[in-house]
Amino acid sequence: MAKTALITGITGQDGYYLSRLLLEKGYRVVGLVPPNRQNSLTKLGALANQVEIYALQLTDSEALTEAVKQLQPNEIYNLAAPSFVPDSWNDPLATLDLVTGTATRLLTAVRHAGLQTRFYQASSSEMFGDVDRSPQDENTPFRPKNPYAAAKLHAHWTMVHQRERYGLFACSGILYNHESPRRPANFVTRKVSIAAASIKLGLTQVLEMGNLDAKRDWGYAGDHVEAMWRMLQADEPEEYVIGTGQLHSVRELVAAAFDCVGLDWTRYVTVNPNLLRPDEHFHLVADPSKAKRQLNWEPKVSFEQLLEKMVLKDLQRLQTGSQY
Ligand code: GDP
């Protein structure tokens, strides 16, 4: 019989790539989506007809318990979160309720239903925050710097506690930035890929950027979701740092994106001081060697290939008017 996977945050970037992977593997995929967000299902494109949708509020404990009892999932992937970090300052309590609350409610539901469900918690490199060393691995101390990171860290520890106390098969992936043509336009990678495509087509002339020296460990979302699945197939539930292990600057990002359309970025890019954020002393960059050793996981798509995917897709979108 096909395995059932339950996914929160299915309409987000990672939800899309994970659903695609699990459908290819023959899973029955069920997404938990708030009733007022049904229109976001269009983001799943052609996959929308292949996944099942269960409408509920993730903050509703009873509804979640009922869903878990009814669906008896073999695997749960808890991806739901307001992923654009600066937004978490607007309503820290709502962030906590969604991020930490959902993890706690789902784990409690699994335990009360007496199921052997394997649980994946989407942790984030943001939890490392104000780091005092680079690269980071599973033993690096956490020093979160914003409400999003603090909520993610609380969810992470909740998962560890439930595993240790009740023996649940619960894992977490501490994921570094992961991007794709489905990344929302407020993230720097997508902002740049859209700009390179629209400048190429003569639709805009200038790209205003923040700190060009900021550096990130940017991977491809399609590679990173493969790591999530591998964690739940392992013999033991553990934490894993998932990233490429390579740092690139925003400057390199812009150069690579404009390269894809044969343009010299220096002619189009200006720095807007309002977009600057304070720079870090140590950079967030993964040491993914545990994932390689234990899960045989490695990223397949390079930085340049990632930007090529993004820019080509944005060119196509701008030319055809299609959204996804
Ligand atoms: P984050 O890692 O969650 O902060 O992801 P972002 O994609 O928002 O930002 C990545 C880095 O790019 C940050 O260090 C920003 O300071 C830097 N950056 C430079 N210019 C921009 C910009 O115009 N927009 C955004 N979002 N980030 C920028």
Is residue 120 flagged as an active site residue? no
269 lines ligand 1 (CB under 6 A): no
pLDDT at 189: 98
Both tokens of 53, joined, read 């949708």
Indicate which residue's Cα is closest to atom 23 of ligand 1.
209
Name the closest-CA residue to atom 19, ligand 1: 210
Write out the two tokens for 235.
């013999």
Say yes or no: CB of residue 214 within 6 Å of ligand 1: yes
289 to each of 44, 82, 85, 296, how far by Cα in Å?
Answer: 32, 28, 27, 9
Cα distance between residue 223 and residue 299, in whole Å = 5
Q: What is the pTM of this model?
A: 0.95
- In this prediction, residue 254 carries a pLDDT of 98
Q: Which atom of ligand 1 is nearest to the CA of 280?
A: 14
Please pick, among 16, 125, 126, 176, the residue that the annotation labels catalytic. Answer: 126
213 Cβ below 6 A of ligand 1: no
| pLDDT block averages, 10 residues each, the chain of length 324 | 96 97 98 86 90 94 96 97 82 92 96 96 96 96 94 97 97 98 96 98 96 96 98 98 98 98 97 82 92 98 98 97 77
Given a contact cutoff of 8 angstroms between Cβ atoms, the answer to whether 319 and 169 are in contact is: no
148 is catalytic: yes
Determine the residue of 188, 209, 271, 276 to mutate for testing ligand 1's pocket, defined as the one with the most ligand atoms within 8 A of the Cβ atom: 188
Pocket test for ligand 1, best of 179, 206, 244, 250 (most atoms within 8 A of CB): 250
Compute and round to an integer the Cα radius of gyration of the chain: 20
5 and 76 Cβ atoms separated by less than 8 Å: yes
Task: Check residue 58 and give its pLDDT.
Answer: 93
How many A from CA of 78 to the centre of ligand 1?
25
Residue 250, ligand 1, Cβ within 6 A: yes
Ligand 1 pocket check for 85: Cβ under 6 Å: yes
ipTM of the complex model: 0.95
pLDDT score, position 112: 93
* Structure tokens belonging to residue 37: 């967000």
Look up residue 173 and give its two tokens. Answer: 């992936």
**126 given a catalytic annotation:** yes
Ligand 1 atom with the smallest distance to the CA of 189 is 7
User: Residue 60's pLDDT is what?
Assistant: 94
Q: Tell me how far the alpha carbon of residue 188 lies from the centroid of ligand 1, in angstroms.
A: 5
Name the residue with tokens 């993890």. Answer: 103
Nearest Cα to Cα of residue 169 among 98, 105, 107: 107
Residue 139 Cα, ligand 1 centroid: separation in angstroms? 26
Q: Measure 147 CA to ligand 1 centroid, in angstroms.
A: 17
